[in-house]
Amino acid sequence: MTQSEEKATQTEENAEPSKKSRLRRWLFRILIIGGCLFILGIATIAGILWYHSSSLPSFDSLADYNPPQVTRMYDRNGRVIAELYEEKRTVVTFDRIPLHVRKAFLAAEDADFYSHPGLDFMGMLRAMWHNIKAGRVVQGGSTITQQVIKTFLLGPERSYTRKIKELLLALRLESNLSKDEILSLYLNQIYFGHRCYGIQEAARYYFDCDVSGLSIEQSALLASLPKSPAGYSPINHPERAKQRRDWVLDQMLKNEMASVQEVKIAKSKELDVVGSYVDFFESAPYYAEYCRRVLEEKLGKDRLLQGGLRVELAVDLDLQQVAQQIVAAELRRIDRRHGYRGRLGKITAEQIKQLHDKHDSQGAKNKIWTLVLSSESQEPETASKTVPTAVKWLELKKEARVIVPVTEISIVDKTEVARLDLGISSATLDLKGIKWARKFSPVGRTPAPKKISDILEVGDLIEVRIEDPTPESLTAGLSQPPLVQGALISMDPHSKHVLALVGGSNFRDTPLIRAVQSRRQPGSSFKPIVYTAAIHTGAYTPASILMDTPEVYRSLQGKAWKPQNFERVFTGAVTLRYALAHSINTVAVKVCSDIGPPAVSNMARDLGIKSKLARNLSMALGSSEVTLLELTNAYSVFPGQGKQAEPVFITAVKTPDGKFIEGFEQTEPRQAISQAEAFIMTSLLRSVIENGTGKRALKLGRPLGGKTGTTNQQKDGWFVGFSADLVSGVWVGFDDNSSMGTGWAQGAGTALPIWVQFMEAALRDRPKLDFKASEGTVFVRIDPENGLLASPQLADAEFEVFVEGTEPRAVSDRLSGGDRQVTSSGSKQINSTTGKRLPEGMYR
């Protein structure tokens, strides 16, 4: 070996320890740096955790869980008529949720819920990996505990900052609440789609049952929804929902939460969802809306919409819906007499094609469309500018009403026929279907159309009524939304419970609650108030003889007023009973003049009328405006034995835990008039139906009382009447006070038919109760010509009822029907029942 080789070898030997030394030094440095970084990381994490923990929200909202809940209105028989809410939720206690329901949600969302500390670390790592790959937050890997934190405290934001807070809060929550309490919060809070929050409302909507009645397959379906309520909706996506439900069932089997047999049976079941909800507009909209306003005024909007209240109403849903149907149908009948107002809108062939392309009927063969127009389309002057804004699909059935376009007018068998587009089918409209559609004129008769083209054009949007739904002969008749309006009130005269309230023809189109919001002149339907005041004075009885003769009255300013009867004829001497039965105006004014307008006004107040009344003689003819509710409630005093109280709409309001809320107690009834006076008025109003203007009601074949009312130029038609156990009032008229027509448009021709139909339906299953005579009344045989006691020989004598002590004392000299004993017009007359002298003006 040479010297140089030895030196190289020696150098290599010296270098090996040096390399090892450097390696050790680097490893030491790396450990030192790594340790520092680790300590720094731990310190950083600790700092981050400390920083975020200092700004964490409190658990107060969880410890005192009081979320928004749905308020429900119930009719007198416990049926839901309306739901009011911001979030449709009803909180249920944990013990009411069956075990298999809880297991279904655990299998779908968090199978290890009862074993982890609130965090699923493997799930978190998996979610972190997916987020790193995506470069953004795409997955959460949240447990039920974390979902509760997100829902209640942090919101839906996806960020690492929010995630850190979520982790901290989840750990804290697990140490503050039990697992059952956390799961209860989750099940009551989550969203299930279709405006349903919480497991109870989901069970009600999808299956029309209480949460306690859910089956395993139903539970699995509901457990599939929180992940994507819209995507897995069994209403909109049944196939997708079934697949997701079956996946949840598989998860239950995998996690030993259900047996093989249970899962097999559950998978074999169809979804069978109901989609149950209360249609506010179809149930009792006017009644519910009126009560909603009362509740909001007393309780405030937030408590009403969030408080989960149980509101018990006096309404009878069956009567309410019958009333709505009758009012709507009769208003259309009246409206048809006024004629056709014209098309509702205009549409082109291209626009019709676009509607077909855009709106799918989902292949249903028994569906027809109705085109949704803007509200101003109901006015003829804007109809040409109106086009449909949407389409609704309805069931094809007889009497269905839809708005459709006229697509063709052709000649068939020498007669014009219109072709109507119903969406996936078409219908024909012939001359028979438009024969009523003369030119619009409430006050005059115009010629009927002679052919289709007299009133329709291609492209017209019109309302039609399906006459024959058979596909081979699908025909329709022309219709139109009524312009004339009406209202109905029905109540128990004894309890004052309002059983039905209708405020117009259709709540969707006209939500004004006319029965309580509109003040109108009552016309002759106010006369019973006048006669009640007269009977109350003791100076008048049903047998009092009064003169139906013309009279001129002068105001303080000297202006002359001469009341006229409707027929413009005068009868002469009549009894008070006859005057009311035949609605004689002159007599009502004379009685009002005698007792004084203040006495009439005071009596109206005693009977519950609160509207301002003009204290002049015209009030006897109903010139002062009142509401239908006021007048109907006043009439309830007569069959109600003289007792007056405020009408009752809301019988009770309860909190979710069943406690009564004060302020909705019924007022104690007071004796407005004596029982004897109430029976006298009941008897007098029976004569209106039996012998007077209300004869149409005789078809009901039971004891009834009531009074018609008509205002000048037939602007208002009224009928208010009663049986022994039900009092109802009806008003008909235009909102703008236009005339409804000529002689046919009196109360007897507009309001009374509605009243008769409603009372016939309402009383159908009730016994025929008679009005019972009260204490303090006596029946006396009288001479109807003069109101005196009848002689035993008088053949045409009649029995009359009196308040005890006011019956006649003198005996009539008349022995036969031809021997009249009535003082001639212009002389003074002694009241035969009281002996008091009546003023000359009553006989002038």
Mean pLDDT to the nearest integer, 229-254: 95
pLDDT classification of 829: cutoffs 50, 70, 90: very low
CB 248 within 8 A of CB 107: yes
* 524 catalytic per annotation: yes
What is the maximal distance between C-alpha atoms in the chain? 178
* 282 catalytic per annotation: no
CB 205 within 8 A of CB 276: yes
CB 523 within 8 A of CB 730: no
DSSP string computed for 569-606: ---EEEEHHHHHHTT-HHHHHHHHHHH-HHHHHHHHHH
Mean pLDDT to the nearest integer, 29-50: 66
The DSSP code for 811 is B
- The catalytic residue among 377, 490, 505, 524 is 524
Mean pLDDT to the nearest integer, 805-830: 61
3-class SS at 674?
Answer: coil
Q: Give the position of tokens 């007018």.
A: 409
- The catalytic residue among 83, 109, 201, 677 is 109
Mean pLDDT to the nearest integer, 421-432: 94
Judge whether residue 652 has pLDDT over 50: yes
Judge whether residue 15 has pLDDT over 60: no
Judge whether residue 435 has pLDDT over 50: yes
Judge whether residue 57 has pLDDT over 60: no
The full length of the chain comes to: 844
- Token pair recorded at residue 146: 């974390």
Model pTM score: 0.87
Q: How many CB atoms lie within 10 A of CB 737?
A: 12
Judge whether residue 440 has pLDDT over 70: yes
Q: What is the pLDDT of residue 526?
A: 98
**% residues pLDDT > 70 (the chain):** 85
Q: What is the pLDDT of residues 72-125, one digit of tens each?
A: 999 999 999 999 999 999 999 999 999 999 999 999 999 999 988 877 777 667
CB 437 within 8 A of CB 478: yes
What average pLDDT is seen over the chain?
88
Question: What phi, psi does 716 have (nearest 5°)?
Answer: -135, 140
CA dist., res. 152 & res. 181, Å (int): 14
CA dist., res. 752 & res. 99, Å (int): 59
CA dist., res. 219 & res. 786, Å (int): 82
Most confident option among 44-58, 523-537, 542-556, 830-844: 523-537
Q: Hey, CA dihedral for 27, 29, 32, 36, is it positive or negative?
A: negative
CB 577 within 8 A of CB 543: yes
CA dist., res. 766 & res. 670, Å (int): 27
Mean pLDDT to the nearest integer, 777-796: 93
CB 169 within 8 A of CB 149: yes
Q: What is the pLDDT of residue 414?
A: 87
Q: Are strands 88-89 and 196-197 parallel, antiparallel or unpaired?
A: parallel
CB 437 within 8 A of CB 391: no
Judge whether residue 381 has pLDDT over 70: no
Q: What is the pLDDT of residue 481?
A: 94
Q: Are strands 560-561 and 553-554 parallel, antiparallel or unpaired?
A: antiparallel
Q: Hey, CA dihedral for 138, 142, 146, 151, is it positive or negative?
A: positive
